[in-house]
Amino acid sequence: MDEAIMRVDRTSSERRLSTLVRHLGAGLSSPSCSPSHTSISTEQFENSKNAKISLSPMAAFGSVFANVVQAPEDPILGVTVAYNKDPSPLKVNLGVGAYRTEEGKPLVLNVVKKAEQSLINDPSRFKEYLPITGLAEFNKLSAKLIFGADSPAIQENRVATVQCLSGTGSLRVGGEFLAKHYHERSIYIPVPTWGNHPKVFMMAGLKPMSYRYYDPSTRGLDFQGLVEDLSAAPEGSIVLLHACAHNPTGVDPTPEQWEQIRQLLRSRSLLPFFDSAYQGFASGSLDKDAYSVRLFVADGGELLMAQSYAKNMGLYGERVGALSIVCKSADVAGKVESQLKLVIRPMYSNPPLHGASIVATILRSPELYHEWTVELKAMADRIISMRQELFNALQAKGTPGDWSHIIKQIGMFTFTGLNKGQVAFMTREYHIYMTSDGHIYLNNATFYNSLVIFLQEDQHGWFE
């Protein structure tokens, strides 16, 4: 992954000072501005106090950050920036994974609206600081959601759960904890993966490595490559696993394959780190989408689990998520939780209250919970039906190529198989925005016509 950090030359004190001199002009021959690092004498200090330095408020010092270079746009979020700038009325944004209705509008779930109303109408609610680990009730309910209410790990108090800022925050806090307390720094990440994963783990102090995952020739899972690469990973390495609806390919292992992956990881003492951003969104069933995670928990082993409510509750901007660490014993879980606090405190002290309160309100109420599962299934079903629609449209037009992967894959994304050049063409000619690796978010049926025509006509012979 290209490193977006542009290191700059260090600004020397000489350069800063010459900038200063340029700006100040005449008034500045006082010895107190010499570049030496010795301290100035009281006399010099007194002199400098009295020196008439005539400045306009703007003219004093050059910035110490004058050489900072502009960073490139984030490869994913930058798509939306470009989309927003486009004046074309035809434009479509298939970049960021945010659900859209049939009308192309963002959706706030009814159950979320209800939860918010009840929070606002409760005069006893305060906005005080949450504990460092977040809203306790939210943490318990989140653990139950992903691990199952009857999970032995929960019954035995072996799970340390902390509220974090959505999936990103959970991954970052988990990564920093591992960098501090775990004996291995390597984290194995599937190829491809969500664009932000490598950066998150690198900033956390881990060393991203990769394992094969996606097979472009079958547009499915490269199971053999996965097994080979993880078999070669040093014992104890961390392995990042997408719990379901792999982002960006939509390709998931089958249950049988998950069992083999589990055995492989456990036999080599590799530490699983799950990223669950789509529970309930993939198949429409919360339990089914948690299958892989629960399989691992059932064998009594340890793992990390990053949960996000951005998509499945539509709480994107509220930044709601949770990091759970399943440990061998309750004692260890207690100590682990205490150390997680030390990671969080110097980052942002304690997590934001609003989104977690909404989630807790929904998860604790049987009626609201049920209502949520219904809305969630509707969203998942719509995406599944759009996959079918796209596939049918391609079949009907006799589009060259095998498009069955579109209905075999699962979740919000599909890999069109378009390359950078083709993506750029789609954007230029059709105002269809997507990330340059060609994965699209299946949220908007109106683009299908354009996409199908484009693929149909294959003007550039790209599919031959």
Partner 1 sequence: MAFRAMISSRSIQQSKWVPSAGVARQMSSWFGHVEPAAKDPILGVTEAFLADPSPDKVNVGVGAYRDDNGKPVVLECVREAERRIAGNLIMEYLPMGGSSHMIEESLKLAYGEDSDFIKDKRIAAVQALSGTGACRLFADFQKRFLPDSQIYIPVPTWANHHNIWRDARVPQNTFRYYHPETKGLDFSSLMEDIKNSPNGSFFLLHACAHNPTGVDPSEEQWREISHLFKSKNHFPFFDMAYQGFASGNPERDAKAIRIFLDDGHLIGCAQSFAKNMGLYGQRAGCLSILCDNEMEAVAVKSQLQQIGRPMYSNPPVHGALIVSTILGDPELKKLWLQEVKGMADRIIGMRTALRENLEKLGSPLSWEHITNQIGMFCYSGMSPEQVDRLTNEYHIYMTRNGRISMAGVTTGNVGYLANAIHEVTK
For the segment 58-87, give every residue that binds partner 1 (CB under 8 A): 58-66, 68-71, 74, 77, 81
Residues of span 115-154 touching partner 1 by CB under 8 A: 116-117, 120, 125-132
Kindly state the smallest distance separating residue 411's Cβ from partner 1, in Å: 18
The only residue of 140, 199, 212, 408 in contact with partner 1, by rule CB under 8 A: 199
Of the candidate residues 305, 336, 390, 426, the single one contacting partner 1 (CB under 8 A) = 336
Q: How many C-beta atoms surround the C-beta of residue 424 within 10 A?
A: 12
Which of 304, 274, 306 lies closest to 291, judged by CA? 274
Residue 445 CA to residue 63 CA, distance in Å, equals 49
Task: Name which of 95 and 280 has its Cβ closer to partner 1.
Answer: 95
Q: For partner 1, which is the closer residue by CB, 181 or 370?
A: 181
Pick one of 95, 148, 169, 190: the residue that binds partner 1 (CB under 8 A).
169
From the list 18, 224, 404, 449, which residue makes contact with partner 1 (rule: CB under 8 A)? 224
The DSSP-derived string for 317-366 is GG--EEEEEE-SSHHHHHHHHHHHHHHHHHHHSS--HHHHHHHHHHHH-H
- Longest Cα–Cα distance in the chain: 89
Nearest approach in angstroms of CB 13 to partner 1 is 5
Tell the residue number behind the tokens 């006893």, with chain if given: 124
In contact, 344 and 175? CB cutoff 8 Å: no
- Give yes or no for residue 345 binding partner 1 (CB under 8 A): yes
Rule CB under 8 A: say whether 397 interacts with partner 1.
no
255 binding partner 1? (CB under 8 A): no
Contact of 161 with 338, CB cutoff 8 Å: no
463 binds partner 1 (CB under 8 A): no
Helix (H) or strand (E) holding 415: strand 413-415
Amino acid symbol at 82? A
Question: Residue 229 catalytic?
Answer: no
Stretch binding partner 1 (CB under 8 A), from 108-116, 242-250, 418-426, 440-448: 108-116
Of 276-305, binders to partner 1 (CB under 8 A) are 298-302
Q: Does 424 bind partner 1 (CB under 8 A)?
A: no
Q: Is 437 a catalytic residue?
A: no
Sign of the CA dihedral with 246 first, then 263, 321, and 368 last: positive
Which residues are identified as catalytic? 194, 275, 311
